[in-house]
Amino acid sequence: MQKEERMLEGKSSRGKYIRIIADIGSQLAMKKLGLLFILALACLNMDLQAQDVAFSQFYANQLYLNPALAGSARCPRVTLNYRNQWPGIPSTYVTYSASYDQYVDALSGGIGIQAYHDRQGTGIIQTNSISGMYAYQVALDRNISFKAGMQASYYNKSIDWSQLTFGDMIDARYGFIYPTGEVPIEAPVNKLDFSAGGLLFTQTFYVGFAAHHLFEPNESFFKSAESRLPRKYTAHAGAVIPLDNTNPEDGSISPNIIYQRQGEFNHLNLGLYLNKGPITGGVWYRWDDALIFLVGLHTDQFRFGYSYDITVSSLGTQTLGSHEISVTLLLPCKQKRRKFKMMRCPQF
């Protein structure tokens, strides 16, 4: 299966999981593919594991990328994100995210809060999450600073049983006309989750690392089964290079690299931004998966970004790519009372 797909459950050893996954395949208008997939699962007895949402505007959703980025803009910041993945395939993935963060002098670090809602299929699977984070900042010397971030999250994952169909509901002539004998999902999943990250930066260069789902919470909908959410590792680095050293505000280019691994899935992302005045343009390549183009408009108080993913994997053009929109508001704040090194990084 495609690396970017997010799978429902982590144990496929019982017929309930197989039938649920088969139904989701049919809801996505890929019945033949779903049947082949189920046969492969039955034969190989492999484990399935969930995967996090993958946003394309990495630095327009900084708290999602790395909790150590909380408060990196110093003044209060409100960010809204929307992602529609593969709209060409009916009933796929739509994700909403909202966050607030700022630097607090009394805490010598940044604080942040983030909420997101993820919908798979026609709302068959839904995930709601809220997170709080704190990032301590310290100056190592005149040029280098370090931030250490911690994050605590609470999330809920549920299945709309009424939208599922099963094999025992099928009549050979009339289709799905019978009630199912399957036992409904016992209860939604409610879990606590913890993450951490670190960031080292100067005025021109930054490198960071984050580990999400440190304790790999069990997401199984059945008490008798286990489905661990795999730990996600993120490493990211980049630089901001002025086009004119005598006037750094005139414009810049910013090469970047981000590597993420979660369970058996991994993404290598290579990107380049060009900033000129209030306009930002960028291109990313997600290895063997997608080519991402983005454009952004920014002022001192407002940022708007749009990006489009062109699928280059075996899924082909029928996915119609992915759309992503970000809006950021930078609120005014009092002059800093102590020395604060601000991180210069991409805005989208």
pTM of the model: 0.81
Q: How many of the other CB atoms lie within 10 Å of CB of 76?
A: 15
Is position 256 within any domain? yes
Q: How far is 311 from 321, CA to CA, in rounded Å?
A: 5
The number of angstroms, rounded, from the C-alpha of 188 to the middle of its chain's C-alpha atoms is 21
Confidence of residue 345 (pLDDT cuts 50, 70, 90): confident
Is position 183 within any domain? no
Confidence of residue 71 (pLDDT cuts 50, 70, 90): very high
Give residue for tokens 């630097």.
103
Q: Encoding tokens for residue 336?
A: 């800093």
130 CB-near residues (< 8 Å, 6+ apart): 113, 114, 115, 153, 154, 155
83: exposed, middle or buried (C-beta count within 10 Å: 0-12, 13-18, 19+)? buried
Is position 164 within any domain? no
Query: Above 70 in pLDDT, residue 4?
Result: no
18-46 pLDDT per residue, tens? 444 444 444 433 333 333 333 333 333 33
Expressed as residue numbers, the domain containing 207 is: 53-152+193-330
Measured N-to-C along each axis, helices 31-44 and 15-27 cross at an angle, to the nearest 10 degrees, of 160
Confidence of residue 318 (pLDDT cuts 50, 70, 90): confident
pLDDT value at residue 337? 54
CATH at 241: 2.40.160.40
**69 or 317: which leads in pLDDT:** 69
Q: Encoding tokens for residue 199?
A: 């960031």
Going from the C-alpha of 212 to that of each of 57, 97, 177, the distances in angstroms are 18, 17, 44
Beta partners for residue 252, in sequence order: 242, 275
H or E element in which residue 40 lies:
helix 31-44
Q: What angle do CA 186, 232, 90 make, to 5 degrees?
A: 60
pLDDT value at residue 50? 65
73-121 pLDDT per residue, tens? 889 999 999 999 988 887 679 999 999 999 999 999 999 999 999 998 7
Query: Above 70 in pLDDT, residue 267?
Result: yes
119-139 pLDDT per residue, tens? 987 788 899 999 999 999 999
pLDDT value at residue 32? 35
Is position 40 within any domain? no
Is position 78 within any domain? yes
pLDDT value at residue 339? 63
Is position 17 within any domain? no
**Percentage with pLDDT > 90 across the chain:** 53
Is position 86 within any domain? yes
Q: Encoding tokens for residue 186?
A: 């016992």
Averaged confidence pLDDT in the chain? 83
Inter-residue contact 116 to 109 (CB < 8 Å): no
In one-letter notation, the amino acid at residue 211 is: A
Question: In the chain, how many domains are there?
Answer: 1
DSSP SS3 for 33: helix
Is position 239 within any domain? yes
